Structure 1
Amino acid sequence: MRILLLSAYDAVSHQYWRKGLVAQFPEYEWTVLTLPGRFFSWRVRGNSLSWAFNERECLEQGYDLLIATSMTDLSALKGLVPSLAGVPSIVYFHENQFAYPLSGKEFSSVEPRVLSLYSALAADFVVFNTRYNKETFFNGAGALLKKLPDQVPPGLMALLAEKTRVLPVPVQDTALIKGKSRRGPLQVIWNHRWEYDKGPELLYRVMLALKQRKVRVLFHLVGQQFRYIPEVFEQLKNDCGDLIATWGYVDSRQAYNRLLQNSDVVLSTALHDFQGIAILEGVAAGCVPVVPDRLAYPELFARQFCYPDRGNEVDNLARRLTELARLKAHQDLPPAPSVEQFFWSGQKNAYRQLITSAGGSR
């Protein structure tokens, strides 16, 4: 089977998924095209134009299946490259623009949401990584269609539902590296992109609360950084520096794995996580997850691992970490939950069935 794989906004999580997919199925003949994960507004609008005229010879090679990320403008690409119109296609949603939190600094436009809806309608199969991602997309798209003034075809969401399924982004089996040192203060790793949507404001307020309460806890604040870093990180470093054991991006995978292995807790303060690969990798390494009970996390973990965002979220999270610090002091931390169902070894057959079904759908 000849498969064309398109990643139109090739951010780290998208790379993680597509590289894993290609590595797991070497029996297929893969052609992979990617575009850099920058200039978001232009990328989601312009990827079909860029590829159709910069990569036309490649796109016209004749494929048995097309797999694209949800950032790909699939409807326009099929129009600009007619030979792709007859190729069975899958669109994979790592996230969706209907539930993506706004920073207030971006150009406000409905276009990214409309484009993702068009791409979903143009595909033969639509796949979401979690039910949360699927439900927020369907709720957002349905609400948008109701706002449009006229000539909206009926039954579009029902049409989409018939070809939609949920398959997580699988975690590499090598992420299973359990083995803990249980001495000393509670070790918490916060391993996310240093951007507003990962909730650094909440992280700062919680760390400040723990410092004021004199709770024995050390934080490892690591993750991908960009040209602009929210100002709260500098404030956090200045005010809570004595709680910070690791600061900044860890470029060695071995060093990062050791950090996961030596941490007790993996923490999310995110405004959105459509799955949470960084959290799953931490849990695979034996960390106890401490995650919000909103977003996708109740699908992944039992409620005991999810802190409530009702009432005072800072206090809720600070009390949870304080309790875990107390348990650590008594050598009584709970075990990390199993996440092996999210490994490639647990998901490979489902992906194979999807590819086989889609490849033979026309």
Structure 2
Amino acid sequence: MLQEDYRKNTFSSFRKSWNRSLSQAMSILIIEAFYGGSHKQLVDLLQKELQDCVPYTLPAKKWHWRARTAALFFAQNVPISERYRILFASSVLNLTELAALRPDLGKLKKILYFHENQLVYPVKKYQERDFQYGYNQILSCLVADVVVFNSVFNMESFLTSIGKFMKLVPDHRPKDLESIIRPKCQVIYFPIRFPDVSREHDKDPESFFKILIHLKNLGLNFHVSVLGETFTDVPDIFSEAKKALGSSILHWGYLPCKDDYFQVLCMADVVISTAKHEFFGVAMLEAVYCGCYPLCPKALVYPEIFPAEYLYSTPEQLSKKLQNFCKRPDIVRKHLYKGEMAPYSWAALHSKFRSLLTTEPREDL
């Protein structure tokens, strides 16, 4: 009996050791249906920093069509492989459809990452089809093994809105969805690789440019850089503001080189958000790291990340702060940021992502 027990223990130890080695050698399948902005930034970072990631992506165009149809595209175009052990996807993907179309992928450890959620995402006008996007995200959460949000605001705004959202269903409503999904949920802040230094709906550009044009009309001296990707629809306010601001503009448009982008941030004194929606805010944190004084709405995710002195409640408050800064630029140039940056860095978050993206192989795979 002793010899038999010894053999069993030896075999068990060998199998566990072999499983660990196999797990480390297996691939992480990353699927991104909207490969642009922060979605692209995260995919590129994980692929660079973690071993054996296999990404499949679609360009960041026509967001609504990606949400509707990407699952079928990936079902047809991701090759079958026994090496996959983990599926990591953003919530743009309809994970439920993909798992049904590809049972081999449905068996993997499925991780859903929320950059934003459709239950509280603002829409310009109510449309019947809008319900489907939020509903798809709820279904994807039910299918996922782990659901990760980039902020507490993102997670809580999604979970606490499920009940109200499902009341749009006229009858025979599903029940207890929040209590089913919540145990799967956790927050891991978006990991930023900060520079080595010594977008879908635009974030309310009307308010932003209106305030700048007002400062210009007051005769105040300032310069502005407007950076960012241009997608299909560009609001008219951009061309109007570019003409109105004229000589006050230092930079205008997308800078494809990240080093050039950070160089512009390092030249700036203040970074402003007039967002009507924000679930994390990568660009704001990057700018603060480069020395900018942040001004953000006292709403959305911002109170979770920035101290109170950097928050404003009304456009009038923002305008007054900017008028003061224009008259006294030394206030912001000598200012030392009082918040924390380290918790949002890849250096602080990499261990959480490594832990998230590892798993023991299942016996049935």
> What is the TM-score normalised by the length of structure 2?
0.86
Deviation at 1:206, TM superposition (A): 0.6
Please give the secondary structure, in 2, of the residue aligned with 1:169. coil
Q: Which amino acid counterpart does residue 73 of structure 1 have in structure 2? A: N
Please give the secondary structure, in 2, of the residue aligned with 1:161. helix
CA distance in 2, matches of 1:32, 1:71: 15
Aligned to 1:177: 197
Structure 1 pair 287/358, CA: closer, same or farther in 2 (3 Å)?
farther
Q: Is 2:300 the partner of 1:295?
A: yes
Q: Is 2:108 the partner of 1:84?
A: no
Q: Is 2:204 the partner of 1:232?
A: no
Aligned to 1:156: 177
Deviation at 1:96, TM superposition (A): 0.8
The 5-angstrom pairing of residues 106-145 of structure 1 reads 108-145=129-166
- Contact kept, 8 Å, 1:48 with 1:73, in 2: the verdict is yes
Structure 1 pair 80/89, CA: closer, same or farther in 2 (3 Å)?
same
CA distance in 2, matches of 1:202, 1:16: 27
1:222 to 216, 219, 227: 227
CA distance in 2, matches of 1:19, 1:198: 24
Deviation at 1:108, TM superposition (A): 4.3
Aligned residues: 338
Please give the secondary structure, in 2, of the residue aligned with 1:64. strand
- Contact kept, 8 Å, 1:8 with 1:35, in 2: the verdict is yes
Q: Is 2:94 the partner of 1:73?
A: yes
The 5-angstrom pairing of residues 216-295 of structure 1 reads 216-295=221-300
CA distance in 2, matches of 1:73, 1:330: 48
CA distance in 2, matches of 1:358, 1:11: 31
The 5-angstrom pairing of residues 31-70 of structure 1 reads 31-55=54-78, 58-70=79-91
Deviations 1:130-152 (A, max 9, x none): 11111221133221223323443
Q: Which amino acid counterpart does residue 353 of structure 1 have in structure 2? A: S
CA distance in 1, matches of 2:265, 2:181: 39
- Contact kept, 8 Å, 1:275 with 1:296, in 2: the verdict is yes
Aligned to 1:347: 349
Please give the secondary structure, in 2, of the residue aligned with 1:99. coil
Please give the secondary structure, in 2, of the residue aligned with 1:9. strand
CA distance in 2, matches of 1:62, 1:152: 39
Deviation at 1:176, TM superposition (A): 4.5
The percentage of counterpart residues that share the same residue type is 30
- Contact kept, 8 Å, 1:4 with 1:30, in 2: the verdict is yes
Q: Is 2:211 the partner of 1:206?
A: yes
Q: Which amino acid counterpart does residue 342 of structure 1 have in structure 2? A: Y
Structure 1 pair 358/145, CA: closer, same or farther in 2 (3 Å)?
farther
- Contact kept, 8 Å, 2:27 with 2:86, in 1: the verdict is yes
Deviations 1:71-119 (A, max 9, x none): 1111111111111222111100000112222134988431111111111
Aligned to 1:15: 40
- Contact kept, 8 Å, 2:61 with 2:231, in 1: the verdict is no
Deviations 1:199-232 (A, max 9, x none): 1100121112212333222111111113431101
Aligned to 1:190: none
Gaps of 5+ in 1: 179-192
Structure 1 pair 52/209, CA: closer, same or farther in 2 (3 Å)?
same
Deviations 1:15-50 (A, max 9, x none): 101111122212xx2221111222222221211211
Aligned to 1:188: none
- Contact kept, 8 Å, 1:88 with 1:359, in 2: the verdict is no
Deviation at 1:198, TM superposition (A): 1.2
CA distance in 2, matches of 1:358, 1:281: 36
Q: Which amino acid counterpart does residue 227 of structure 2 have in structure 1? A: V
CA distance in 1, matches of 2:46, 2:342: 17
- Contact kept, 8 Å, 2:33 with 2:92, in 1: the verdict is yes
Provide the alpha-carbon RMSD of the alignment.
2.3
- Contact kept, 8 Å, 2:27 with 2:84, in 1: the verdict is yes
Which structure's CA Rg is the greater one? 2
Aligned to 1:185: none
> What is the TM-score normalised by the length of structure 1?
0.86
CA distance in 1, matches of 2:117, 2:329: 38
1:147 to 168, 172, 195: 168
Deviates more, 1:258-267 or 1:34-43: 34-43
Deviates more, 1:88-97 or 1:349-358: 349-358
CA distance in 2, matches of 1:54, 1:332: 52
Gaps of 5+ in 2: 1-25
CA distance in 1, matches of 2:172, 2:360: 31
Structure 1 pair 44/234, CA: closer, same or farther in 2 (3 Å)?
same
Please give the secondary structure, in 2, of the residue aligned with 1:177. coil
